[in-house]
Structure 1
Amino acid sequence: MTEPTAPYEQHVVGFGAVRIRPLDPASDADVIHRWVSEERAVFWGMNGLTRDQVAEIYAHMAGLDTHHAHLVTKDGAPAALFQTYEPAADRVGACYGVRPGDLGVHVLLGPAGPDGPRPGWTSALLTVMTTYALRALDRRRLVADPDVRNTKAIARFERQGFVRGPAVVLPEVDLPDVYLPEKHAQLAFLDREVAFPG
């Protein structure tokens, strides 16, 4: 899966310019390490890793054709980590019937800015990410697989229009370059026709 290297940008009325660009494993490592080390990011699975370990994981991902990491910024300030992947090339592909045009997504929102949480911001940010994935990348359906215990993320995806699928167990991955423990996940799907009716 080749993704654009040029940034995708969308102006969100009342919030500012949201940009999605490829994550730079070296220069973005500090901010990503800070985010994934927070207690609220426990389901991301990187608590306890060093900055260099986080940079190494994303450097490995940058060399893949099937998995991509993006930094989402708002008026130039980091706002979210957005990962996309081909479900057929991921362990989730063994857990549901992958369709042509499916794209897997992982979202880690950055902490609230200096002014604190703003009503509607999370929804606006997710709308930009889903628009990028479904329209700019020309995909038919998005697949999310949050941890079943991450009720906040599941509810957030549902508010965004995702429909719950089955709860599944993603198998352990133990390869020379990658280790992922078994994960109990709640699948959720967003069809392009639902996100953009008419």
Structure 2
Amino acid sequence: MSDILFTRTDERLGEFAVRPVRPAEDTALLHGWLTHPKSAFWLMQEATPEQVEREFREIAAAPSRAAFIGLHRGRPAFLVERYDPAEDLAQVHRSEPGDVGMHFLVAPTDTPLHGFTRAVIGTVMELLFADPWVRRVVVEPDVRNRAVHVLNEAVGFRALRTVSLPGKDALLSTCTRAQFAAAAGHAPEGSAAERGANR
């Protein structure tokens, strides 16, 4: 049985899909992504394959967390983590019902596609908002990661303030369902092929 949870077709770039991370099978892939110099903001540059596998096994075992591999035309292309900000950001964020935290990473490549990262974050946001419980997405990227701040703003995020988190100063930002829909020019859409546990 397929473990695809969500699919979305981008007008220019074709089909995107999302499936759960399979820690044992995906360790080599994820280790390559997370230790790449372009992934420095993930703070896992020195991680061993064993540490990467352990991290994703812990995520899979946690009721309030989930990790997903994003596919582009059937090939692994990005990572998504969903988490509960009421737990992970309790010291810096007053969580409300319907809040969900998110991290995403586009796989490093030497042959980037124009508009690909924007299509990825659009897919991630539609994945999260496909859950009717979700009302707002919370992110906390490193304040130095200017490229992702621009990207976040483009899909509807609004910066709240700078906060101190382990390993970084972060720009705490949120995006409601309505803000994302307004930025995208339409309501969030996509298909949930299966329901599964949701970093």
Same fold, judged at TM 0.5 (above): yes
Tell me what 1:25 maps to. Answer: 23
Matched residue SS, 2:96? coil
Preserved CA contact (<8 Å) 2:14 2:73:
yes
1:46-81 Cα distance to aligned partner (Å, 9 max, x none) = 111111110111011110001111100101111111
Matched, 1:142 2:137: yes
Describe how 1:13-162 pairs up with structure 2 within 5 A. 13-90=11-88, 92-112=89-109, 116-136=111-131, 138-162=133-157
**TM-align CA RMSD:** 1.6
Higher mean displacement: 5-14 or 40-49: 5-14
TM-score norm. by structure 2 comes to 0.85
> Would the alpha carbon gap of residues 77 and 107 (structure 1) be closer, same or farther in structure 2, given more than 3 Å must change?
same
The residue identity in structure 2 corresponding to 1:145 is E
Equivalent residue, structure 2, for 1:175 = none
- Structure 1 residue runs of 4+, over 4 Å off? none
Q: Distance in 2 between matches of 1:124 and 1:41?
A: 19
What is the rounded CA distance, in whole Å, between the counterparts of 1:127 and 1:143 in structure 2?
Answer: 15
The runs of 5 or more residues in structure 1 that have no matched partner are: 171-180
Matches of 2:28 and 2:132, distance apart in 1: 28
- TM normalised by structure 1 equals 0.86
Deviations 1:135-173 (A, max 9, x none): 235311000101112222222211222111110012xxx
How many equivalent residue pairs?
Answer: 181
Gaps of 5+ in 2: 188-199
